[in-house]
Chains A and B, each alone.
Chain A
Amino acid sequence: DIVMTQSPLSLPVTPGEPASISCRSSQSLQRSDGYKFLDWYLQKAGQSPQLLIYLGSTRAPGVPDRFSGSGSGTDFTLNITRVEAEDVGVYYCMQPLQTPYTFGQGTKLEIK
């Protein structure tokens, strides 16, 4: 199975400041056609996960442009340019390259 490792696990951020979350996989998530099979999800308290970013860097419909994804191979990053109060929750990376799909441990973003 592909192991997903996130850092940091806790991320206190002042509103308006940027935030960055790292996700590393135990094997490359880049397919031979160039597609990068890495998704980012946000799970707010008591809710289901919601898709933010897919294929490493494509924002899902309705996701604010302050969210961006980057990376390749085994190293990926989620960036938030200016954190807002509504961004609080746990962020997960997930690899859908092969089954079983696997998730990172989660990064809990909180407002300072």
Chain B
Amino acid sequence: QAQLVQSESEMKKPGASVKISCKASGYSFTTHAIHWVRQVPGQRPEWMGWLDVRTGDTKYSDNLQGRVSITRNTSATTAYLDLSSLRLEDTAVYFCARHWGMGRLDNWGQGTLVTVSS
């Protein structure tokens, strides 16, 4: 059974960076893209970017250009989200999700809370 397990909550100061991991199991890791979505509590989810796991190609939201990087380690079946120059408004729950195809995000990680506070 496919599963995505994310790293634990993080607390960071403004200006710092955070790296979140997303460990995949139960399916062929390189067959499906991974997307990252974040959600401020009480607000709608916000798409951040996606990674073609097979090729390493990425596409990011314009809102985050220059601050976000999505990478993977295929031998560890793990995808990573790096977000730099953190701001208070980056406080959110961050999710990774598997892209099955034809648009659908069919399997989600449990979420990682990132709190940015001085």
Contact = CB atoms under 8 A, between A and B. Distances in A.
Given A48-B95, A48-B110, A48-B111, A99 B50 contact: yes
The DSSP consensus for interface residues of chain B is strand
Q: Bin chain A's interface residue count.
A: 20 to 34
A39 B103 contact: yes
Nearest to B59: A99
Interface residues of B, number: 22
Nearest to A96: B103
A101 B110 CA distance: 20
Contacts of A94: 45, 105
Contacts, number: 60
The DSSP consensus for interface residues of chain A is loop
Interface string A54-96: 1100001000000000000000000000000000000010101
A35 B37 CA distance: 24
A49 B108 contact: yes
A13 interface: no
A105 interface: yes
Contacts of B46: 103
18 contacts: A39-B105, A41-B105, A48-B97, A48-B108, A49-B45, A51-B104, A51-B106, A54-B104, A54-B106, A60-B106, A92-B44, A94-B45, A96-B105, A99-B50, A100-B61, A100-B63, A103-B45, A106-B44
Given A48-B109, A94-B45, A103-B46, 20 more contacts: A37-B102, A37-B103, A39-B105, A41-B105, A48-B95, A48-B111, A49-B45, A49-B105, A50-B108, A51-B104, A51-B105, A54-B103, A92-B44, A97-B103, A99-B47, A99-B61, A100-B62, A101-B37, A101-B47, A102-B47
Counting from the closest, the 5 A-B pairs by CB-CB distance are: A96-B103, A54-B104, A48-B108, A101-B47, A103-B44
